[in-house]
């Protein structure tokens, strides 16, 4: 009985088993959706993994191209801009919260042209106007400007769109 306890203690202390367990946790997290290196770091930290071991695991996953913060930032910003109508300001904040670096964020946001941001915002205005048909102009103006502001659009862009829109 004493021998089995010693073997169990050796297995628990084995750095390779800790490495394998951390790798498995990271891969399981990646199987649900793509994640940034910062997000995976936080996942592994919650599982009480040592920081140096986390770095080794994440470096290995980066070598095998399972983690790519630039690709993650590009895909995240493109999809959230198109499908959620978010502005570059909000996207930058979201990517920072996910642990993506400033360089990767700036490269990803360069893909969103100001014309695209204007077109997405204009589509949001048109969609919102359909639900506000019975409201007066003042209510429409207030609700649309608040809606766009929550999406992160600037006051200048909101004002320009509302001037061009027939309320």
| pLDDT one-digit tens code per residue, 41-82 | 999 999 999 999 999 999 999 999 999 999 999 999 999 999
Domain chopping of the chain, boundaries: 14-63, 69-110, 114-164
SS3 14: coil
Which long-range contacts (C-beta less than 8 Å, at least 24 apart) are formed by 60-64? 60/23, 61/23, 61/26, 61/27, 61/30, 62/37
Distance between CA 67 and CA 3 in Å, rounded? Answer: 41
What CATH number is given for 114-164 in this structure?
1.10.10
Judged by average pLDDT, the poorest of 13-17, 42-46, 48-52, 151-155 is: 13-17
Query: What confidence tens digit (pLDDT) does each residue in 93-125 have?
Result: 999 999 999 999 999 999 999 999 999 999 999
Work out the angle at residue 102's Cα, subtended by the Cα atoms of residues 22 and 53, and round it to the nearest 5 degrees: 15
Could you give the percent of the chain with pLDDT greater than 90?
A: 88
- Paired tokens of 130: 């359909």
- Paired tokens of 3: 């021998």
> 105 with 96: CB under 8 angstroms?
yes
């Amino acid at each position: 009985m004493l021998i089995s306890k010693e073997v169990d203690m050796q297995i628990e202390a084995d750095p390779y088993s800790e490495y394998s367990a951390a790798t498995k946790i990271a891969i399981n997290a990646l199987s649900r959706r793509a994640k940034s290196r910062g997000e995976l770091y936080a996942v592994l930290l919650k599982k009480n993994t040592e920081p140096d071991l986390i770095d080794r695991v994440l470096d290995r996953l980066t070598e095998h191209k399972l983690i790519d913060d630039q690709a993650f930032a590009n895909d995240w910003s493109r999809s959230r801009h198109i499908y959620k109508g978010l502005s570059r300001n909000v996207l930058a904040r979201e990517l920072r919260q996910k642990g993506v670096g400033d360089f990767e964020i700036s490269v990803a946001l360069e893909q969103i042209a100001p014309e695209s941001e204007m077109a997405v915002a204009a589509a949001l205005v048109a969609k919102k106007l359909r639900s506000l048909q019975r409201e007066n102009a003042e209510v429409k103006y207030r609700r649309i400007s608040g809606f766009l502001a929550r999406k992160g659009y600037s006051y200048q862009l909101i004002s320009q769109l509302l001037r061009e829109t027939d309320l």
